[in-house]
């Protein structure tokens, strides 16, 4: 019983440590963006989408708007469908707990190997995939709404359909799309957790490094807003 608790504690402590590392990284990004609006690619995209909406609603770019929103909707649809397929794969994997000892736990030197921890790991993976699916689905919904709003001429003079309000809706869709992508990224440490908590810790450190490289906007953009 003592060994079981010790191994379980190792897995729990590693999961909490990884969650804190990812939380600290995103807090760091939040603080940087508050000081410099062009520090991350996501922040630059918010600025770009706002300017794009103003340009489209100024007139003469209806076809461009439809094509761009269609591309965004298709990308979100593909990723939402992928989340469903991955969910089915995880559910299938949950029925193979009796075979885990001979395959997944071969490299698990310090973590728990009993079925309870195994199912907990799969449950967290399912939760992560559900968040991804929900985020991409909401993103598709908002993109569809924006498709109607952005083609309303400015001459209508409706405050709720002004370029500023339409840009807010479009940026909300972009935000949910980013959340869905983040959920996919967070799936990497969870997958490595199946092999052992030490692999999860290494995967989290590698993920933070990769995200930092992906999230940083080019320095030339930072200089424009300094």
Rounded alpha-carbon distances, angstroms, from residue 4 to 11, 97, 110, 120: 11, 17, 11, 15
Residue 30 is classified by DSSP as H
Residue 216 is classified by DSSP as B
Quote the crossing angle between the two packed helices 115-149 and 62-94, to the nearest 10°.
Answer: 170
158 inside domain: yes
Tell me how far apart the alpha carbons of residues 150 and 159 are, in angstroms, rounded to a whole number: 13
What DSSP assignment string belongs to 101-119? GGTTTTT-SSS--SHHHHH
Q: Which of 102 and 35 is assigned the larger pLDDT? A: 35
174 inside domain: yes
164 inside domain: yes
3-class DSSP state of 40: strand
- pLDDT for position 58: 81
The residue-averaged pLDDT of 18-46 equals: 92
The residue-averaged pLDDT of 4-27 equals: 83
pLDDT digits (tens, 9 = 90+) for 92-105: 877 765 555 556 65
Q: How many distinct structural domains can be found in the chain?
A: 1
Tell me how far apart the alpha carbons of residues 81 and 129 are, in angstroms, rounded to a whole number: 11
53 inside domain: yes
Domain hosting residue 83, numbered range: 2-217
Q: Which residues contact 185 (CB under 8 A, 6 or more apart)?
A: 207, 211
225 inside domain: no
In the predicted structure, residue 56 carries a pLDDT above the cut 80: yes
In the predicted structure, residue 161 carries a pLDDT above the cut 90: no
73 inside domain: yes
222 inside domain: no
What's the mean per-residue pLDDT of the chain?
A: 84
CA angle (163 as vertex; 161, 167 as ends), nearest 5: 100
121 inside domain: yes
The model carries a pTM of 0.85
For residue 40, list its beta bridge partners.
216
Among 32-41, 173-182, 202-211, the least confident range:
32-41
């Amino acid at each position: 019983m003592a060994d079981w608790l010790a191994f379980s504690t190792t897995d729990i402590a590693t999961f909490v440590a990884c969650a804190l590392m990812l939380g600290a990284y995103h807090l760091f990004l939040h603080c940087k963006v508050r000081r410099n609006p062009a520090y991350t690619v996501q922040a630059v995209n918010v600025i770009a989408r706002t300017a794009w909406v103003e340009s489209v609603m100024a007139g003469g770019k209806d076809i461009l708007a439809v094509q761009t929103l269609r591309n965004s909707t298709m990308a979100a649809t593909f990723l939402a469908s992928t989340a469903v397929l991955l969910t089915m794969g995880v559910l299938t994997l949950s029925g193979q707990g009796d075979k885990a000892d001979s395959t997944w736990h071969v490299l698990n030197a310090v973590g728990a190997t009993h079925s309870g921890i195994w199912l907990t790991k799969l449950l967290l993976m399912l939760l992560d995939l559900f968040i991804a699916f929900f985020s991409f689905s909401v993103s598709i919904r908002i993109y569809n709404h924006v498709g109607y709003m952005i083609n309303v001429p400015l001459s209508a003079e409706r405050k709720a359909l002004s370029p500023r309000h339409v840009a807010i809706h479009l940026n909300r869709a972009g935000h949910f799309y980013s959340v869905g992508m983040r959920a996919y990224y967070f799936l990497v440490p969870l997958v490595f957790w199946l092999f052992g908590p030490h692999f999860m810790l290494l995967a989290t450190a590698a993920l933070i490094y990769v995200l930092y490289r992906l999230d940083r906007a080019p320095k030339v953009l930072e200089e424009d807003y300094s």
